[in-house]
Amino acid sequence: MVVVRAFGTSSSDVKKREMERLAALEQLDLLDTPKDEGFERIVRLIKQIFDVDIGLVSLIDAHRQWYKACSGLAADEVPIQDTFCRHVVDREEAMVVQDATRDPRFAHNPAVTGESHVRFYAGVPLRTKAGHVVGTVCAIDRRTRSFGAKDLSVLNELAGVAMDRIELLQSAATDGLTGALTRHAFRQEADQVLSLALRHQHDASCVVLDIDRFKSVNDTHGHAAGDQVLHAVAETCKANLRAGDLFGRLGGEEFAILLPHINRDGAAAVAEKVRLAIASRPIAGAFGELNVTASFGISALSIITKDIETMLAQADAAMYHAKHNGRNRCVSWNAIGGDGPTGARRRVLKAGSIVFNDHRSTIDCTIKSLGVDSAGLSVSSSAGIPPEFVLMIKGEGFETKCRIVAQDRQSIEVAFSA
């Protein structure tokens, strides 16, 4: 990441500010959450008010810009080194580029030279009440144009509306499309359930499921069909769970189940029951009839695994193995993690570097969860990352050897090596 800072700002101050910014972003717990109509409305307004091709509300972590809402671009995210918006975040102020081809910072940017054909950019900070810039709100066009003080004022007002929406979502308990608990609410309620289970020495288990090849549903049949699939899968899950079980939507097509008073073997039986129910239920709509499947990962409460973050990390890793071994199957953490990470995890958001090839190759990553012997990482692409590497946490002097336990396209679970 290239850091642009004002004269007189020390490197240590920049690192401290970035750590505080990422901590503020982690508290919002919005990265990789499902689409929200409130943000979709904001990006549509941006396009209408300014007569531009692209409207954007984004969040920026340590390695990428992720689009909470976007109208006019096909991608969901872009590596941070390729973004205009990193300059807005680094400087914590608005930026207007009237003609990107004439600006030496952006003339060779892939968004300018590639098929996106960006020429004009106006971006303002998405700022929390505490003053941390967690993302941007942008008006972007494929034509050069001017953008006056009044336009910038309106865009800042829309950023304020977006921040108001973020604050409102913090109190939302259920996902509007599926009726599942939101990720934030699921974690809160799971903490309470696990606290009771530990106090009274009850079993509890966690199941994570991810709809197989969901992107192809959206690409082939459209997002309306995708929404119908999500709703149908959620309904099938809820119909096969008890009233006291927790069911939450973690991300786009990923769901989690917490099963009180159920041990690991019992959770495997529940997961298999839900898997079969999903696979045997055709979903009918204007697109015709679709048969979908899901992959499942299972973890259980134990002497060491006592919190929802650790259980989710283990279930996620098991689910990645289910994906890599043919999909439409259930895999338990104990089946893959005998010599893998077992220690407790805490949820974080930290800037990291994956270093390999004798320190000649470095890939930026965001550390999403961290324990004494393991971590969960987010990357733009896991392709080309070797099975073993060195993980560094920027600004903290942390460096350790790692080996990959499980991975998918953009997530990696690692165990720290001795």
Domain finish residue from 305, 336, 367: 336
* CA distance linking residue 147 with residue 152, whole number of Å: 7
Q: Is the pTM of this model over 0.95?
A: no
Please give the pLDDT value at position 394: 87
> Containing domain of residue 389, as a range?
345-416
Domain finish residue from 336, 357, 380: 336
- Which pair of tokens denotes residue 31? 């990265």
- Which tens digits make up the pLDDT trace of 288-324? 999 999 999 999 999 888 999 999 999 999 999 999 9
Please give the pLDDT value at position 1: 33
Shared domain check, 46 and 116 = yes
Please give the pLDDT value at position 340: 54
Please give the pLDDT value at position 7: 43
Shared domain check, 323 and 249 = yes
CA dihedral angle for residue 332, residue 338, residue 340, residue 343, rounded to 10 degrees: 80
**CATH number of the domain encompassing residue 381:** 2.40.10.220
Shared domain check, 159 and 70 = yes
**CATH number of the domain encompassing residue 107:** 3.30.450.40
Positions of the chain with pLDDT under 50:
1-7
Instruction: Please check whether residue 176 lies inside any domain of the structure.
Output: no
Shared domain check, 106 and 60 = yes
Shared domain check, 124 and 98 = yes
* CA distance linking residue 166 with residue 116, whole number of Å: 28
Residue pair 343/327 in contact (Cβ under 8 Å)? The answer is: no
Residue pair 317/337 in contact (Cβ under 8 Å)? The answer is: yes
Count of structural domains within the chain: 3
